[in-house]
């Protein structure tokens, strides 16, 4: 009887983790999609496409001509793919992190090293879902920037998926998998570590000062910091991943070869292209994601 109750309790906690992660991720993606579209255009600009409106290399100057040329709806191009993908992705990230953390450290306040390891495992697992999702998103986000010669224009996510699978089979959907694994395994460890460390520090300081501020402010700030720090650390790898996933499937997709070519042709600054947009996006997106996650966890628990 006791074993059955323990199993039921663990299952319930895992289900709450998954549900809260889904909701937090969906809200975060909606907030961040315009920034993500600009980021991908900036990352791929100059590497292999000619824009009809000559996208600038900085976020603010890029946003204005983008809206003029493609309208506000253009900022949400490719939203369907990450939005649909966010359900299993964020369920995996927060669900696997929660379950792994409880397995690694059963203490009421787990060690920060356990938080990091659990985040890294969660990042590795979700890479196999996020890689095909990101591939479709990148293909759709940059297609208007390419010259038409020799490149197919997709009508939408399903058209893109049908073309890739028909041409290259299911394996074609995992273009850019290795960069995604390398990026997410480390970055999600950092992500959860920074969030937890920042939140604990802020809450300890708030209690020491007998402050009347709400915990919500701490969660929002800690979530924003986690997003900014984790993205900044792995950003050069994300640049290479975006370039690989925005290429036609027939292109050479070697990670090291792509990185070397980018450096040789554009210098080290190419690996920071779009970083400002990413940081601008990372803070509100992850602030919202963690806040919604924590509030949903509290409500469902």
The residue that leads in pLDDT, 210 or 294, is 294
Residue 179 banded pLDDT, cuts 50, 70, 90: very high
Q: What is the mean pLDDT of residues 84-110?
A: 88
Can you read off the two tokens belonging to residue 147? Answer: 């010259």
Instruction: Give the per-residue pLDDT at 183.
Output: 96
Instruction: Give the per-residue pLDDT at 14.
Output: 82
For residue 215, what are the CA distances in angstroms to 22, 54, 199, 221, 252? 22, 44, 9, 10, 49
CA dist., res. 238 & res. 43, Å (int)? 9
Instruction: Give the per-residue pLDDT at 236.
Output: 93
Closest CA to 216 of 112, 242, 224, 208: 224
User: Are 278 and 35 in contact, with CB atoms under 8 Å apart?
Assistant: yes
Taking 50 as the threshold, does the pLDDT of residue 294 lie above it? Answer: yes
Instruction: Give the per-residue pLDDT at 54.
Output: 43
Instruction: Give the per-residue pLDDT at 60.
Output: 59
Taking 50 as the threshold, does the pLDDT of residue 218 lie above it? Answer: yes
CATH code of 95's domain: 1.50.40.10
The residue that leads in pLDDT, 80 or 194, is 194
CB count in 10 Å sphere of residue 80: 15
CA dist., res. 293 & res. 116, Å (int)? 18
Closest CA to 242 of 86, 87, 138, 100: 138
DSSP state of 77: T
| pTM listed for this prediction | 0.81
3-state SS record for 231-255: HHHHHHHHHHHHHHHCCCCCCCCCH
Residue 222 banded pLDDT, cuts 50, 70, 90: very high
Cα end-to-end span (Å), the chain: 22
Taking 70 as the threshold, does the pLDDT of residue 43 lie above it? Answer: no
CA dist., res. 198 & res. 192, Å (int)? 10
The residue that leads in pLDDT, 49 or 69, is 69
| Host domain of residue 53 | 2-300
User: Are 116 and 189 in contact, with CB atoms under 8 Å apart?
Assistant: yes
pLDDT by residue (tens digit) across 254-267?
888 889 888 898 88
The residue that leads in pLDDT, 41 or 245, is 245
Count of domains forming the chain: 1
Q: What is the mean pLDDT of residues 215-241?
A: 94
């Amino acid at each position: 009887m006791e074993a059955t109750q323990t199993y039921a309790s663990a299952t319930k906690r895992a289900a709450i983790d998954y549900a809260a992660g889904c909701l937090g991720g969906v809200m975060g993606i909606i907030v961040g999609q315009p920034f993500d579209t600009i980021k991908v255009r900036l990352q791929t600009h100059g590497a292999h496409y000619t824009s009809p409106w000559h996208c600038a290399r900085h976020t603010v100057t890029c946003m204005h001509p983008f809206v003029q040329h493609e309208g506000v709806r253009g900022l949400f191009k490719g939203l369907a793919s990450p939005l649909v993908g966010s359900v299993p992705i964020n369920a995996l990230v927060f669900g696997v992190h929660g379950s792994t953390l409880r397995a690694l450290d059963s203490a009421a306040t787990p060690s920060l090293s356990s938080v990091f390891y659990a985040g890294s495992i969660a990042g590795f697992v979700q890479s196999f879902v996020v890689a095909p999702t990101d591939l479709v998103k990148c293909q759709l986000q940059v297609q208007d920037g390419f010259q038409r010669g020799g490149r197919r224009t997709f009508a939408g996510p399903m058209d893109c998926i049908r073309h890739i699978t028909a041409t290259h089979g299911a394996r074609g959907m995992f273009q850019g998998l290795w960069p995604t694994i390398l990026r997410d395994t480390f970055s999600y460890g950092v992500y959860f570590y920074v969030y937890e460390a920042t939140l604990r520090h802020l809450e300890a300081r708030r209690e020491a000062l007998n402050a009347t501020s709400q915990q919500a402010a701490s969660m929002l700030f800690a979530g924003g910091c986690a997003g900014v720090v984790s993205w900044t650390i792995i950003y050069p790898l994300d640049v290479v991943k975006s370039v690989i996933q925005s290429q036609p499937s027939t292109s050479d997709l070697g990670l090291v070869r792509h990185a070397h070519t980018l450096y040789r042709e554009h210098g080290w600054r190419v690996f920071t292209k779009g970083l400002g947009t990413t940081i601008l996006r990372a803070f509100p997106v992850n602030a919202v994601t963690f806040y919604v996650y924590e509030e949903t966890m509290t409500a469902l628990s």
